[in-house]
Structure 1
Amino acid sequence: MDKTSCLALVHTYLSKQQRLTNDISNLRSEYQRLLRKYRRNLNQRNKLIAILIMLNENSFGINHRGIWILKKNGRWWLEVVPKMSDNEFKQNFRLERGTYSALMKQIEPYLRKTKTNCREPIPVEKKVCCALYCLGSSAELRTIGNLFGIGKSTSSEILHEFCSIMIELFIYNLVKFPDNHQEIKDTSSKFLRKFGYPMCIGAVDGTHISIKPPLGLETDYFNYKKYHSVIMLAVVNADLGFTYINVGAPGRCNDASVYSRSNLSDVIKNSIYEDHYMIVNNTKIQSHLIADSAFALDQTLLKPFPDRIDMPRQHRMFNYRLSRCRSTVERAFGMMKNRFRILHKKMEFNLDNTINIIKTAVIMHNICILHGDVEDILWHQPYPVHKKPSCPITTTNGIGVREAMIQYFEQNPL
């Protein structure tokens, strides 16, 4: 075979190869075009089916809940709750019916959801009662969900939605530190009338709430009581209502450090509190807070003398009068934790949700106080009581004010 014939064969082969390649490319393009067309048609068909289903449901009154929703029983909510006596209602939802009704009127517009074709919205009454049951019980969310005929995740969503709305609506109105002349005067007058202690505008203390610590920060949240916690620093008035809270400090901190870093330590130094005072033996006693020995002593915060066997009588008397007044904050903590028992158990939520739950418990406590829905019963801590370390920091002004208070108590016995 000569050279020309060989080249002709090679050319023929390459030409066929090129045509095959082009044909394959064209087939692939056509396949992709047909596939896109099929998908468009399929999407259009699915949309039409969805429209027909919705039209069918609207026409014949079929249940709007999709078949993918797992139906729960919820007989307890449907059959037992409506028949509860007033006492049984309070035992389960931690509020008297009157307090509950007042709360419903205020919060209902913010919890009500629009009805859709996908599912029926959960009634507001059911949401509020579910959230109250979560706050007032140490039961698991799965158990609570079964009682109300909803899922665990829905119970959690309802709780956090309720807490967010409560904080948004009430935190600044119901948890308010006295910051004008009339409020300061009224607050100190109540402490004097109820406990015989003058110029007090609040008892301050901290309490630990057990939590699941944030990942990687376990050491920071491990407290001196040997469990993980966040600290709630609070001020309480003579009516056992909370007037200030600071929630979220890691459990390893002490109360004094949380107080010194809070805005409260700056607020109390405002000149308006210096304007409310009395003079005892040429010493000015201004409006001030009272606390236990874990805090630092100054003219804006008084604390007891260190406990000793050979303590002078006057010091014992001062400690008794101050502790008698300071018991308000311990009683308030006890009442709140006894009523809202979610605070007794370890919080398994993330830190932000945990803080919101604690704030909501404070708000609900104050709502109960305002409505006279109060049970001042003895509260037993779930953990062994540990004596707080004493803070040795004092100021000359604080020492002078404390000595003047002794003179006042000598002149004004109970």
Structure 2
Amino acid sequence: MCLLFFLRELMNLLGPKFGPMKSVSLEKRSLACLWFLGNTETFRSVADRFGMSKETLHFLLAQFNGIFKSHKFLNTFISWPTTDVELSNLAEKFSQRAGFPDAVGAIDGTYIPISGPSEYRDSYICRKGFAAMHLQAVCGPDLKFLDVFSAYPGSVHDTRVYRNSPLFQVLQDLPPKFHLLGDSAYPLSTSLLTPYRDNGHLTLEEKRYNSAHSSTRVDIERAFGLLKGKFRKLKFLDMRHVEDIPSTILTCCALHNFILMDESLDESEVVLECVSENVQCENDARESLSGQRKRQDMHVLT
């Protein structure tokens, strides 16, 4: 997607929502917000670049994020598959990668580094030792996000984020045939299949399962790499109000999908992003047993 076409399409969407502002044109407002998200410059530097005060840029970014945060607007770009046709199409495309059947999404979490608040700072320190916000996402085989959730600080484990996210409830209604693929940080269930723990005694079938699982699930790591490559501000969000950070993250995810709607994927921009904890979590017994049965009955295509 060429820059001018992208900007024109974006302004057509934002115009009715942004509202009038005599001192700053719609084009400049859009460009300033996009520049801030796409680079690692400070608020002051971006404001100077576009000839506005730092306070004005803060106000514009809050407006920009507020538009994308609205439920109706966000669902325009990030939507969960609801029909059997949509689910089957996703499963077919995923199976073409490594023969893993009936997968409709790959789930993972990633850390978004932040400066961190002075109060309760320890709650934001992730296992890698820096202050961060947690982003949970599910992507399809085209690297578009199907679901995103950012509400917890970096110290919270992937399992807790997952169980407290709206997605967890949505998956209760997922047709039994289908499932997401997640790593071992997630609880095994019929709607979320994880790999076998490698205890050194895996059967050939279990090894084939793990290989196909890994080769398919890697798409979410590729999606995170592409997201942070296009929106480099996510490599360090130095925003003074922590409560504004989740909406900034969701805006970047929505723009990521908007770009991919009309732009062919450039593999050279994809850098694998792998941050999940490779640990076995304590699973709910009912879910674990049913998930184990489904996993054991899985026949990976060759």
TM-score between the two structures when normalised by the length of structure 2: 0.90
1:257 aligns with 2:160: yes
Q: Hey, what's the Cα distance between the residues in 2 that align with 1:305 and 1:358? A: 32
Deviations 1:210-265 (A, max 9, x none): 12334432122111111111111111111111111110212111111111122222
Aligned 8 A contact 2:110 2:276 in 1:
no
Aligned 8 A contact 1:170 1:363 in 2:
no
Q: 1:388 aligns with which of 254, 261, 278?
A: 278
Q: 1:164 aligns with which of 44, 49, 66?
A: 66
Query: Residue 126 of structure 1 corresponds to which residue in structure 2?
Result: 28
1:111 aligns with 2:22: no
SS in 1 for 2:128: coil
Larger radius of gyration: 1
Q: 1:349 aligns with which of 237, 240, 258?
A: 240
Q: 1:299 aligns with which of 174, 190, 202?
A: 190
Q: Hey, what's the Cα distance between the residues in 2 that align with 1:357 and 1:250? A: 15
1:155 aligns with 2:57: yes
Q: Partner amino acid for 1:350? A: H
TM-score between the two structures when normalised by the length of structure 1: 0.67
Query: Residue 252 of structure 2 corresponds to which residue in structure 1?
Result: 361
Q: Partner amino acid for 2:151? A: G
SS in 1 for 2:110: strand
1:187, CA displacement in angstroms?
2.1
Deviates more, 1:332-341 or 1:313-322: 313-322
Q: Hey, what's the Cα distance between the residues in 2 that align with 1:172 and 1:316? A: 38
Q: What is the number of residues matched between the two proteins? A: 297
1:166, CA displacement in angstroms?
2.5
Larger RCO, structures 1/2 (Cα 8 Å, 6+ apart): 2
1:100 aligns with 2:3: no
Query: Residue 397 of structure 1 corresponds to which residue in structure 2?
Result: 290
Q: Hey, what's the Cα distance between the residues in 2 that align with 1:331 and 1:371? A: 18
Q: Hey, what's the Cα distance between the residues in 2 that align with 1:147 and 1:266? A: 45
Q: Hey, what's the Cα distance between the residues in 1 that align with 2:230 and 2:278? A: 25
1:187 aligns with 2:80: no
Deviates more, 1:337-346 or 1:186-195: 186-195
List gaps (5 residues or longer) in structure 2: none
1:109, CA displacement in angstroms?
2.6
SS in 2 for 1:203: strand
Q: Hey, what's the Cα distance between the residues in 1 that align with 2:79 and 2:139? A: 10
Q: Hey, what's the Cα distance between the residues in 1 that align with 2:92 and 2:240? A: 41
Q: Partner amino acid for 1:244? A: D
Change (3 A) 1:113 1:344: same
Aligned 8 A contact 1:368 1:374 in 2:
no
List gaps (5 residues or longer) in structure 1: 1-89, 116-120, 275-285
Aligned 8 A contact 1:225 1:386 in 2:
no
Deviates more, 1:334-343 or 1:223-232: 223-232
Pairing 1:66-105 to 2, within 5 Å after superposition = 96-105=3-12
Q: Hey, what's the Cα distance between the residues in 1 that align with 2:264 and 2:91? A: 23
Q: Partner amino acid for 2:254? A: I
1:379 aligns with 2:286: no
The percent identity for this pair of structures is: 26
Deviates more, 1:106-115 or 1:169-178: 106-115
Q: Partner amino acid for 1:348? A: M
1:315 aligns with 2:215: no
Q: Partner amino acid for 1:130? A: A
Q: Partner amino acid for 2:153? A: P
Deviates more, 1:103-112 or 1:297-306: 103-112
Change (3 A) 1:265 1:385: closer
Q: Hey, what's the Cα distance between the residues in 2 that align with 1:152 and 1:187? A: 44
Query: Residue 135 of structure 2 corresponds to which residue in structure 1?
Result: 232
